[in-house]
Amino acid sequence: MPEPKPTLESINRIEQYYKEVWSNAWSQWKRDDDLYWQKYQVWDSALNRDSYHPAKSTEIIDHAVDNLMVFTARVHRWPTGDEQVQQERADRIERWMVALFEDCANFEPQLPFKTAGKYMTHYGLGCIDAPGLISMKEKPAGNRRIHWNPFRIRAPQPSQVLMNPLEKNPERALKISHMLSEDLSRLTENKSKQRGLQVDLHTAASNPYASIPVREYWSKDWHAVAGPSSLYYVEPNTWRIQPLKQAYSGFGMLPMNQTRVDPFYLAVGITRGAHEEIIAFAQAMSALHNNITEHGYPMRGTRGDPSEFAEARAGSDILQGERDDFWVEEVSSVPRHLFNYIGQVLSDIDAGTFSPSVSGRRQAGVSTVGQQAILSASAGKKFVALVRQLESLATLTASDILRMIDVMKKPVTIHGYTIGPEDIERDYSIRVSFELVDPVIQLQNRQIGASEVMQGLKSLETFWDADLKLEDSSGERIRLLEDKIRADPQVAAMLAAAVVQGMGLPGMPGMTEGGPAGAGQQGLVAPNGQALASTMGAPTANPPPPGSPMENMQAGEQMRQALTPEVLSPSRTGQARTGAMI
């Protein structure tokens, strides 16, 4: 049953309802923000104490995002059949989708999926607004393969998106944002030119840069844009795609006896359970900082007039009086147990968030690379669910993009890769992953995989996909065949003849109109009559091992023999000096 056309009243009701649903989570996010931006209160306001805010609260989020998450997409598309053409189409879609994700990131001030991953780590919830579509009028005319990206991928702040907290991609959603007055006026003016669309024009304010609150409503059937007290326009959603998606970090869970769903228990950031420990750490560091400050700048006293004493110290006058007339305040030393306490608090923070070993720091007692690798791999498991959630958002986005291309019925070219509805075949299944690869483990997997291929235990294509992480196996197979063809002596000679003709040297010695003299037997011929086919990629009868001294001597011999008899051959390196052949 189609959804009724939204009105200003219905949009107001949706906004009011979801604001109540998300209110507890938003309050917690405000505390998380104060912790991240180091605006939290270290001491009670009644205590007049200096505060020191360590960077620990910010470091936890930043190191988790930078060291445990990868935001370069790897795409896999399943072929729609067993034929070679269907495999080539799947490979083409994989290359195209990777290029699209990279190009969409170029249009945004922040990397979309890194931003969503950071929100997910910090707030426990990440959102993606995609695929956004720009005007179709910007499509280049004709069927030329011109780069044209009509899609956009954005990562809005989670508090700007109001959706059902129990659905990843619900049927309806509301996005709250702000637009400049002149931009909103231009948008409504352009929409008024569409035939059959009723638009309430926004009149630009006296200040064209005034910020206007805007609510954007999305559903499978409708798309509407409304202001605080006006509904600018409502249009049918011809794409049948609701672009707003959300995913939780996996750090939270719903408690029992819930009368209504409260996302406060689902949207849990990584620092939720360590708030008290972070504040305690700030208090301990503040005490240490204040003690050091008191030692470095102690209070001074005098038996005489304090004002004269202060004036004399400020200037260059000599203090007059006895030694006992002046003294410095005695400050107690830092107790040893304070450092033990700081270490215990840091240990509690690491236990409640993640181990510092994943950020490249060696833990106490760890002396070998293997021990550090084991600890890092174990600590990284905390983020497995979070990365999977981020991958699911990217996968849903990629699937929606394929669906939109199918609806557009137009090919789209991104950086030289072109796909159209004939490549998709009404199959929108695709998988996007963000794999964190350890170089050492990857090298071991490649060595083991190559050994299994040599023993016949693994196919070459499985080795490419699982161990080498190639995204275009069919294209790689063709390129390998091309390399073998170029290595053929006759083909190498023909290619060389084409290059010589392109250089405008048709009368080069040793060349004929049909190619090099004796191409069928020896390829290119040097002026001294010696074959040069081996230098063009043709294999020799008994080639020396790569990098061996014999290979270097053979290469040098070919260079000396390539000279004409009229040119004096150079001597071997060092022969004239040592009197011995090297």
pLDDT in tens, 296-323: 888 777 777 777 777 777 766 666 777 7
Closest CA to 129 of 159, 103, 152: 152
Report the alpha-carbon distance of residue 177 to residue 169 in Å, rounded.
20
Closest CA to 424 of 440, 441, 411: 411
Question: pLDDT-based confidence at 360, cuts 50/70/90?
Answer: low
Of 203-207, 507-511, 544-548, highest mean pLDDT: 203-207
Region for 240 from its dihedrals, namely left if φ exceeds 0, alpha if ψ lies in -120 to 50, beta otherwise? left
Name the least confident of 359-363, 473-477, 493-497. Answer: 359-363
Q: What is the pLDDT of residues 553-577, one digit of tens each?
A: 454 444 444 444 554 455 544 444 4
Q: What is the pLDDT of residues 414-466, one digit of tens each?
A: 998 999 999 999 999 999 998 876 666 677 778 888 888 888 888 887 887 77
Name the least confident of 80-89, 114-123, 359-368, 437-446. Answer: 359-368
Question: pLDDT-based confidence at 6, cuts 50/70/90?
Answer: very high
**Phi, psi angles (nearest 5°) of residue 46:** -75, -20
Instruction: Give the 3-state DSSP-derived string for 352-363, with helices as H, strands as E and coil as C.
Output: HCCCHHHHCCCC
> Residues 123-154, buried b or exposed e (16+ Cβ, 10 A)?
bbbbbbbbbeeeeeeeeeeeeeeeebbbbbbb
Region for 38 from its dihedrals, namely left if φ exceeds 0, alpha if ψ lies in -120 to 50, beta otherwise? left
The total of other beta-carbon atoms located within 10 Å of residue 119's CB is: 24
Both tokens assigned to 366: 């760890």
Can you tell me whether residue 257 is helix, strand or coil? coil
Report the alpha-carbon distance of residue 199 to residue 351 in Å, rounded.
56
Is the pLDDT at 220 greater than 90? The verdict is: yes
Report the alpha-carbon distance of residue 280 to residue 341 in Å, rounded.
10
Q: Output the pLDDT for position 294.
A: 83
Closest CA to 160 of 209, 125, 108, 114: 125
Question: Which own/partner contact pairs does 463-469 have at CB distance under 8 Å and 24+ positions apart?
Answer: 469/74, 469/435, 469/437
Can you tell me whether residue 556 is helix, strand or coil? helix
Overall average pLDDT of the 165-187 stretch: 95
Question: pLDDT-based confidence at 511, cuts 50/70/90?
Answer: low
DSSP codes, 363-385: PTT--SHHHHHHHHHHHHGGGHH
Side chain identity, residue 542: N
Q: What is the pLDDT of residues 49-87, one digit of tens each?
A: 889 999 999 999 998 888 777 778 889 999 999 888 998
Chain-wide mean pLDDT for the chain?
A: 82
CB 345 within 8 A of CB 283: no
DSSP state of 466: I
Q: Output the pLDDT for position 329.
A: 76
Percent of the chain with pLDDT over 70: 79
Say if strands 151-154 and 300-302 run parallel, antiparallel, or are unpaired.
unpaired
Is the pLDDT at 216 greater than 50? The verdict is: yes
Overall average pLDDT of the 504-530 stretch: 52
Q: Output the pLDDT for position 580.
A: 39
Can you tell me whether residue 484 is helix, strand or coil? helix
Of 141-145, 378-382, 402-406, highest mean pLDDT: 402-406
Does residue 220 or residue 48 have the better pLDDT?
Answer: 220
Q: Which residue bears the tokens 């390829």?
A: 523
Q: Output the pLDDT for position 230.
A: 93
Say if strands 244-248 and 300-302 run parallel, antiparallel, or are unpaired.
unpaired
CB 361 within 8 A of CB 375: no
Overall average pLDDT of the 396-416 stretch: 93
Question: pLDDT-based confidence at 378, cuts 50/70/90?
Answer: low
Overall average pLDDT of the 118-147 stretch: 80
Is the pLDDT at 12 greater than 90? The verdict is: yes
